Amino acid sequence: MKPAYVAPVSLFMCTLAVPASADWQTDANVTLTSNYLWRGKTQSDDRPALQAGIETRHTGGGYAGAWFSTIDNGEDAGYEADFTTGWRFQAGPVPVDTGLIYYAYPIAEQNSDVGESFITLGPDALQIRYALTVWKEDRDGDTHDQYLALGGDYPLGDDYGFSWTLGHMENATDSDGNYQHLALGLSRDLAERGVLSLGVESNNADDDRHRNRPRLVLSWQWNL
């Protein structure tokens, strides 16, 4: 385990180690997906991935979460572990979600862990999200990559939903690494049998591995 990986794990475990009370709520889920896409790029080499997440939150708005996924990025990374801590609150009529995410790759051959700050503004129907890289384990050049996205999530009757995301990624050290992506998705809530989702996503990234082409993604998520 990398030294830089210890602090986020310790923080997360300390956050979870709170007395059970009506002020705290914890949810967990497991997902099987045909392709793990992150900001328009495949993290599983266009292959299926198994994912799991857990989040504990306080009625005051504070929360912490952990999320895991199998990955295949050509560097024997094995799996990804993301740790999040943040605060959700209302700024007048506007919902706000702000916090920090630590992206960890414990068995990767390269030093590839990343720390990121984020803020999301608006209700589910129309949100704007901004993320800024604040730390990179390899410390190669400027760390301040940026991501800006617009999106929405809409119910279609009692069991169906539609979502969309339009995002722009800004690479701090290489303008050729800048790209945009678009994602569209439909979902159906199957009650005890989970949520089934079908999405399509494309990007205009200028590299061979993430060449621009639409990708269909089928996912099934179970809440625990």
- The rounded distance, in Å, linking the Cα atoms of 139 and 131 is 18
Q: Is the pLDDT of residue 11 over 80?
A: no
pLDDT of residue 12 exceeding 80 = no
Q: How far apart are CA 35 and CA 163, in angstroms?
A: 17
**Whether pLDDT at 84 is above 90:** yes
211: confidence class by pLDDT, cuts 50, 70, 90: low
23-75 residue pLDDT tens: 999 999 999 999 999 999 999 999 999 999 999 999 999 999 999 999 997 66
- Which parts of the chain fold into alpha helices (H)? 3-16
pLDDT above 90 covers a percentage of the chain that reads 71
Q: Which residues contact 120 (CB under 8 A, 6 or more apart)?
A: 96, 97, 98, 127, 128, 129
Please tell me the predicted confidence (pLDDT) of residue 147.
Answer: 98
Are 24 and 58 contacting, i.e. CB atoms less than 8 angstroms apart? yes
> CA-based diameter of the chain, in Å?
51
3-class DSSP assignment, residue 15: helix
Q: What is the pLDDT of residue 76?
A: 67
CA distances from residue 32 to 56, 65, 68, 164, 220 in whole angstroms, order as listed = 22, 19, 12, 20, 5
Share of the chain above pLDDT 70, in %: 87
- In 3D space, the residue among 40, 48, 38, 33 whose CA is nearest the CA of residue 214 turns out to be 40
pTM over 0.85: yes
pLDDT at 20: 54
Q: For the chain, which domains are there?
A: 3-223 (2.40.160.40)
| Cα angle value 170/152/217 (rounded, 5°) | 75
- pLDDT of residue 8 exceeding 70: no
Among 43-57, 131-145, 175-189, name the one with the lowest average pLDDT.
Answer: 131-145
Mean pLDDT score across all residues of the chain:
88
pLDDT confidence of residue 138: 84
Amino acid in position 85: T
The two tokens of residue 106 are: 């414990």
φ/ψ of 119, rounded to 5, equals -145, 135
